[in-house]
Amino acid sequence: MAHPKRSLPGNAPGDLYVDDTCIDCDTCRWMAPGTFHRTAGQSAVRVQPESSQDRRLALLALTACPTASIGTRARAPEMPAIRSAFPVPVAEEVYHCGYHSAKSYGAAGYFIRRAEGNVLVDSPRRSETLAARLQSLGGVRWLFLTHGDDVADHDFWRERFACERIIHAGDAGGSTLAAERILVGEQTVELAPDLRIIPVPGHTQGSCALLYRDAFLFTGDHLAYSQRRAHLYAFRDACWHSWRQQTESMEKLRGYPFEWVLPGHGRRFHAGRVTMREQLETCIGWMRGPR
Ligand code: SF4
């Protein structure tokens, strides 16, 4: 729980605060950009939320925060409803799960609701509140793990829903060696007619992306959007396996149509296919360029 005595000096005066346990995962800043910003290597409240919408976004971020570093000085009567609000819709039947885990440095988890079986993409932290909500939406058939860094509480979700966990052999290890499906090779795997798993080695040896309905690309830590650069990009300083291979994997994505990039870390991006292709080419050019 956040503690007001540990509130960071950079917080704007008022009810909401960030304390010194913040790990700078960026979650609150992209979820509630009107309220939070980065200062001195951590997040802080830039402006106290005034509108009900800004306050709702800030409290959703409070719930998603992997380290419980965000608090309110006064009791927030909305919290029970806020905690039950996840998963929150992104578009169509794609949802953001919230409840980020410190085990995956605050990576985002997503939920796809489909008549043929729902998919959890990467693992939120364990939460009975979230589990009850996912149950009410039809449960989880597959837990797709984009790579070994973002598996967090995968065993909790497996136990809760008896879902099939999927991870690539290149990243399976420790507890994920018990995954029900371990992929090998670099061929695209058709999980269902609307779900394709695309191996994209580079960030890690076994990184994979999931393409849903040729529109939503779940990228783990392979590909994200950079607001500062204003283009799609990859984490060069957090490439744990091979930058050359990650660049080749990025080129491989030319063969797939998509309109959404939904990463574990970094910012989402949504655009028409022409713009998305241009963005991908910019990213590839940047990756091929000088460091
Ligand atoms: S979500 Fe929590 S840990 Fe992440 S940047 Fe915000 S306050 Fe820090």
Q: Which residues line ligand 1 (CB under 6 A)?
A: 18, 22-28, 43, 65-67, 69-70, 106
Tell me, in angstroms, the distance from the centre of ligand 1 to residue 119's CA. Answer: 26
pTM tops 0.95, yes or no: yes
Q: List domains and CATH numbers for the chain.
A: 4-82 (3.30.70.20), 86-288 (3.60.15.10)
Indicate if the pLDDT at residue 104 is higher than 90: yes
Banded pLDDT at 291 (limits 50, 70, 90): confident
Q: What is the mean pLDDT of residues 185-211?
A: 98
Mean pLDDT, rounded, of the chain:
97
Q: 85, 60 in Cβ contact below 8 A? A: yes
Per residue in 168-194, pLDDT tens? 999 999 999 999 999 999 999 999 999
Banded pLDDT at 63 (limits 50, 70, 90): very high
Helices (H) and strands (E) in the chain, counts: 7, 19
Q: 74, 38 in Cβ contact below 8 A? A: no
CA within 13 Å, CB half, 37: 10
d(CA 51, CA 251): 43
Burial of 93 (0-12, 13-18, 19+ CB in 10 A): middle
Which ligand 1 atom is nearest residue 23's CA?
A: 3
256: phi > 0 → left, psi -120 to 50 → alpha, else beta; which? beta
Which ligand 1 atom is nearest residue 102's CA?
A: 3
